[in-house]
Structure 1
Amino acid sequence: MEKILEVKDLHVTFQTYGGEVKAVRGVTFDLYKGETLAIVGESGCGKSVTSQSIMRLIPNPPGKITNGQILFKGRDLTKLKEPEMRKIRGSDISMIFQDPMTALNPTLTIGDQMIEGILQHQHVTKEEAKKKALEMMDLVGIPSPEFRFKQYPHQFSGGMRQRIVIAMALVCQPEVLIADEPTTALDVTIQAQILELFKDIQKKIGVSIILITHDLGVVAQVADRIAVMYAGKIVESGSRREIFYNPQHPYTRGLLNSVPRLDVDGAELVPINGSPPDLFSPPVGCSFAARCEFAMEVCDKVYPFRTFLSQEHHVDCWLQDERAQKLFLTKT
C-alpha cells in the first residue's frame, strides 16, 4: 500500500502560567492510501493536539511543535510557511472538527460556506463552485440540496449539520481527512448513519481517514488500524482484529473492559481506577504504571522498549519482556 502520511517522533508543548505542558511526547504513525486509522484514548491524552498539529492549527504561542516530522507525500509540513500550508488545508488535507453545532458560521448560508473552500483552492467560477457543492451535498445524503443550499445552519438538525461539515471537508476532494470526534454530539441512530456515510464516501473517492475518538464502538465499525494513545504517547498499535482480540497493553485492555457488552449476560463495566498523570511533569517510566495492576518496579523508572508482535502490531509495555513473563508465570 502507498504511504501517504508519516508522523515521526512528534513532540508538542504548551507554555502556560503553571509551566510547560508536554501534550504530545514522541508520537509516530503512518497512514496509507484508502485506509482508516483510528487514534483512541481518554480525554486529555493528546489525540486532538496530534490531529491539529498535522493541520498546523496549534496556536503559537502558547503551543509549539518542538520536535519531529509530519511528512505528507514526502513534504515535511512542519517546515512549510503559512501561505504554503493554506494551500494544503482544505485541498489536500481536510478536517472535521468536534462539534457540528459550532463548526458552522450562523450568519452565512450553507451555500456560501460550501463554496468558500472551492473558490479558495480551485480556479472555477461561482456557478461551477455551486455545482460542485450541490454534488457533494447530494453525495453525503442531504435531501433537496438546491433548496438546502440557501438555508442557514439553524435550519438544520444536528445530523444534517454533521453531514454538511463532512461535505465541506470533502468538497475539494482531499487525499487525507481528519475526523475529530465526528459523532460525539449525535444520538446513536445518527451516529450509525454518519459511520455508514464515512464507509460509503471512502469507497467512492478513496480518501484516507484519521479518526480521532474515545468510543471503541465507533472504531469497531470503521477502522482498519487502531493506535491507542495515553498521556501523549501511542502505547499500542495494530490492526482492528489484533487490538480487539489480542490486546497486550493493560491500558488497551482497560478501555475494552469499560465498553458496555450487550452480547454477554451479566457483563459488568470495569472502570480504570486512578487518573492520568500530570503532563507538566510526566513520568520517566511508563505513564500508566500508577494505574496498572501489573506494575513492576522497573515500570516507574524506565520507559519500556517497543515490542513488535507482528508487522502491524506493536506495544510499549514491560510485560512483554521475557523476564516479566517468567515472573508472572511463576506466580500463577
Structure 2
Amino acid sequence: MTQTLSPAQTSDDRKTGVAAWHARIRRAVHAASRPESWKRGLVLAALALLLGLTMLLHAWIPNRGLGNLGSLVESLLPWFGVFVPLLLAAALWRRSASATAALLLPVVAWVYLFGGLLGDRSQSGGDLTVAEQNVYAENTDPAGTARDLAAHGADVLALVALTPEATPLYVQALASRYPFHTVQGTVGLWSRFPLSDTRPIDVVDYGPLGATKPSDAKLAVNRALRTTVTTDRGPLTVYVAHLGSVRVLPAKGFWTESRNLGAQALGRALAADPSPRVLLLGDLNGTLDDRALAGLTTQLHSAQDAAGDGFGFTWPAAFPMVRIDQIMVRGIRPESSRVLAANGSDHRPVTAALSW
C-alpha cells in the first residue's frame, strides 16, 4: 500500500531537513570558534599550505640537481588538486579549523591555474579540420586505426610512431580519403590538399643514456617534418613532430634530455620560419605546463587550451592522465578542439577545427 504525503507533510519534512542543516552549521561554527580547534591538525595545515605554494610557485622548483623535479611537478600539476579533498576529509576528521582554513590557498591556486580549462570553450565553424595521433609502434591493428581516423573526416591528418612494417598499411587504408601524403622516417602527414616544400626537421632521440648530440650528427630515423599544405584559403605551414621519450629512472630521476634537445631544435626551426600561418601537430612527450617546452609555447598557442572541452588528456589511452599530444597554431584561430575515443593505440587522437 502506497502512502501519499499531503503538501503540509512535505513542507514539514523540508523544514525539518533545513533545520537539521542549520543545526549542523551552527555546531561546526561553534566548534571552530573554540581555541583548541585551531591548535589541532597543525601538520595538516602545513601540508595544505605546502600544496598551495607548490602549485603557485612551481616555476621556482629547480630541475638541476634534483632529477628534473620541476618538470615532473609541472607535468602532473593539474592532479595536485586531488590532494585537496583528501586533506579536507582529514581536517574535518580532526576537527581542525586551522587545516580547513589553510586549504583555501590550494583551492585558490588550482582555480587560478586551471579554472579556465573547465567547461566547453569550443565554437562552431572552421575552415580546416586537422587531427593527430601517436599510432603506437606496437599497434596490432594499424589498418583499423587508420580507418577509424579517416572516418572522422579531418582535412589534414598527422601520424607519429610509424614503423616500416605498418606504414604501407596506413598508406593503403588512407589512400581513398587523402590523395596526398608524405612520410619522413617515423612521422607522416596525409592531406586532402597538395603538399610541397617537404623536408625533415632534425630533432634528437637517444635512449635514456643521457648522451649529448654531436654538432655534426645526423638522425638515423627522422622524427619531425615540415611541409606546406596548399589549402582553399591559402598556404599553411605544417610541422609534424614526435619528440624523444621521457623516463623516470632510479639514477637520473625524471630523465628528459632527449625530449628537451628535440624541443629546442624544433623551437629554433619555428623561430626561423617566416610563414604567417603555422600549425604544429605531434606527440611532444610533455605537457604545455612543462618549462622545457617554453621554446614552443612562447611561439604557438594550444588549440585545446583555446577551444577545447576540459583538460584534453590523451595518454594513456585506457585512462588518460596527461596531455602530451598537441595541436598548436600561429596565425590561425582554433574554433574547437577535442580528444577522440581510443582506437587501438596507447594514445588517444586529437582533432581541431581552425579558421583563418
**TM-score computed with the length of structure 1 as normaliser:** 0.29
**TM-score computed with the length of structure 2 as normaliser:** 0.28
Considering only CA atoms, is the larger Rg found in Structure 1 or Structure 2?
2
